[in-house]
Amino acid sequence: MLYGWLRVRMVDDQTTLSFPSQGFTIVPLCPPDELVCCIAAGPGGHALHVLLDTGTDPSAIDVGLARRLGLRTGGSGMGQGAVSDAVHFTEAVLPWLRIGDLVVRDLFVPALDLSGLPFRVDVVLGYNVLRQLSIRIDHRQRLLTLAHPDLGVPSLSDASVTLPLVFFEHFPAIGDVEVEGRQIPLATIDTGSNGALSVGPDLADALGLVPGATDVMTARGAGFGGGGEVMRRRCRQMRVGPFTLCDVELDTHVGLGGDLGRTGRANIGNRLLAEFAAVVLDYERRTIILEPHAAAEGRPSRQPGPVTPLA
């Protein structure tokens, strides 16, 4: 279980994006399949593994890579992760990063230790980049579209549904969520998490995600700044906007540290987003588009339940 949440105070962020003439680029997604990752080019001549994380503000780079590249660095400080209040970082700037035909210049990337994650991540692209984009994550074809916000990314299906996107601090969120009949006032969207729905301690208690319950299992979770024990169980039904999802996994971190230790927190991860054929996030228009799988397509066996529109 990976929690991708990270919040660091921005000091002097001069990040800019240079778009190709057509205004967008399309690149293949790369493993791990449960997250939104792609390959980019950057200084040093080596391919870089990039994680697009809507739960990170601003962005991040592995501290070991920053040292090897000799990046310009500034002061140090401490940020907050999903399950930790002590994420040490050093301010750094990556001169350029190329994803397809899109170039990110002077990327402000606090450098922190990413070596403890369960897979390779060199660079995490967060709010300071994503807010300048319209993003389409095509889970069906394993493609990622990054477009200029003036263009947007249109839906390609008549069955798609557009929902309003609100912001919890700098993080995108939706408010029309219900779990086993319980209304969730606000759920952040975290493409850097490979969970389905992560909840804070108060919601965990209300949803029966407690020690000793017969259907609760424990596991280990990882995140920026460290990990810890996680409790998990499956819920019968969850509603996101007009869609009903069955047999969705809930999880909660055991402990009170980090952002997910706060009252009322709920966080939708990429395992739930991948239940849809495609997801479009448009920061400027403040919308999210959910495109369900066609009924005739069937579903990969790794995805636990159907997505059906409510009558």
Tokens of 267: 């966080």
Can you spell out the DSSP letters for 159-198?
T-EEEE-EEETTEEEES-EEETTEEES-EEEETT--SSEE
Q: Please write the tens of the pLDDT for every residue from 116-141.
A: 888 899 999 999 999 999 999 999 99
Alpha-carbon separation of residue 211 from 106, 216, 231 (angstroms) = 47, 7, 8
* 110 preceded by a cis bond (ω within 30 of 0): no
Task: State the Cα–Cα distance between residues 70 and 64, nearest whole angstrom.
Answer: 10
Answer yes or no: is 35 within a domain: yes
Residue 127 and residue 166 in one domain: no
Question: Looking at this protein, which amino acid is placed at residue 5?
Answer: W
> Lowest-pLDDT range, 89-103, 108-122, 168-182, 246-260?
246-260
| pLDDT at 80 > cutoff 60 | no
User: Which residue segment(s) compose the domain that 106 sits in?
Assistant: 2-147
What domain count does the chain have? 2
Task: State the Cα–Cα distance between residues 298 and 305, nearest whole angstrom.
Answer: 11
Alpha-carbon separation of residue 75 from 66, 178, 203 (angstroms) = 14, 43, 37
Question: Is the Cβ–Cβ distance between 50 and 37 less than 8 Å?
Answer: yes
Answer yes or no: is 152 within a domain: no
Residue 117 and residue 26 in one domain: yes
pLDDT (0 to 100) of residue 132: 96
């105070």: which residue's tokens?
9
Question: Looking at this protein, which amino acid is placed at residue 134?
Answer: S
CATH number of the structural domain spanning residue 290: 2.40.70.10
> Lowest-pLDDT range, 29-33, 49-53, 165-169?
165-169
Residue 116 and residue 218 in one domain: no
- Domain boundary among the residues 147, 177, 200 is at 147
Residue 129 and residue 165 in one domain: no
Mean pLDDT of 71-75: 78
Residue 168 and residue 302 in one domain: yes
pLDDT range class, residue 304, cuts 50, 70, 90: very low
Residue 234 and residue 269 in one domain: yes
Counting residues of the chain whose pLDDT is more than 70, the rounded percentage is 82
Residue 27 and residue 106 in one domain: yes
Residue 72 and residue 114 in one domain: yes
pLDDT (0 to 100) of residue 35: 93
Residue 246 and residue 288 in one domain: yes
Counting residues of the chain whose pLDDT is more than 90, the rounded percentage is 60
Residue 139 and residue 178 in one domain: no
Q: Please write the tens of the pLDDT for every residue from 214-242.
A: 898 887 765 555 567 889 999 999 999 99
């966080």: which residue's tokens?
267
Answer yes or no: is 285 within a domain: yes
Answer yes or no: is 153 within a domain: no
Residue 61 and residue 193 in one domain: no
Residue 179 and residue 280 in one domain: yes
